[in-house]
């Protein structure tokens, strides 16, 4: 059974850092495109980042230079390192397994709150 379980969210002060994890089971992370998508409270979906099976990475302009997507093949886990966090980064962060680019399977999400 395919599963994605996010963790690592929480309350962090502006300017702080956080690392989100997304543990996968039922498939191999490194053989798939994997994405992070976020949703601010009461707002729409915002694509954040993708890592291709070949290792190429891409980011939304809003997080470029601050966030880093990576994976650990031995742990079959996807990560999102978030630095220099801002209030506008407050959101539920979802990881997703992509099919041919579309987000075919989503985790349950982890909430990140940036506040002093």
Partner 1 sequence: DIQMTQSPSSLSASVGDTVTITCRASQGISSYLAWYQQKPGKVPKLLISAASTLQSGVPSRFSGSGSGTDFTLTISSLQPEDVATYYCQKYNSAPWTFGQGTKVEIK
Residue 82, SS3 per DSSP: strand
Per rule CB under 8 A, is residue 2 in the interface with partner 1? Answer: no
Q: In the complex with partner 1, which residue's Cβ is closer, 1 or 102? A: 102
Q: Which position among 1, 41, 44, 54 is part of the footprint of partner 1 (CB under 8 A)? A: 44
Stretches 13-21, 22-30, 78-86, 100-108: which one binds partner 1 (CB under 8 A)?
A: 100-108
With binding defined as CB under 8 A, does residue 50 bind partner 1? yes
Locus of tokens 């996010």: 6
Using CB under 8 A as the binding rule, the residues of this chain from 80 to 99 that contact partner 1 are 94, 98-99
73: CB partners within 8 A, 6+ apart: 28, 29, 30
Q: Exposed, middle or buried by CB within 10 Å (0-12, 13-18, 19+), for 62? A: middle
Please give the Cα distance from 38 to 24 (Å, whole number): 18
- Residues near partner 1, by CB under 8 A: 35, 37, 44-47, 50, 58-61, 94, 98-109
């Amino acid at each position: 059974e395919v599963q994605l379980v996010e963790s690592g969210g929480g309350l962090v002060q502006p300017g702080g850092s956080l690392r989100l994890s997304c543990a996968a089971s039922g498939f191999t992370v490194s053989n798939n495109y994997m994405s992070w998508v976020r949703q601010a409270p009461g707002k729409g979906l915002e694509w954040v980042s993708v890592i291709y099976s070949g290792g190429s990475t891409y980011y939304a302009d809003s997080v470029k230079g601050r966030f880093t997507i990576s994976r650990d093949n031995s742990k079959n886990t996807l990560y999102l390192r978030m630095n220099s966090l801002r209030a506008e980064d407050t959101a539920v962060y979802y990881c997703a397994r992509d099919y041919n680019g579309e987000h075919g399977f989503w985790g349950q999400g982890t909430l990140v709150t940036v506040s002093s």
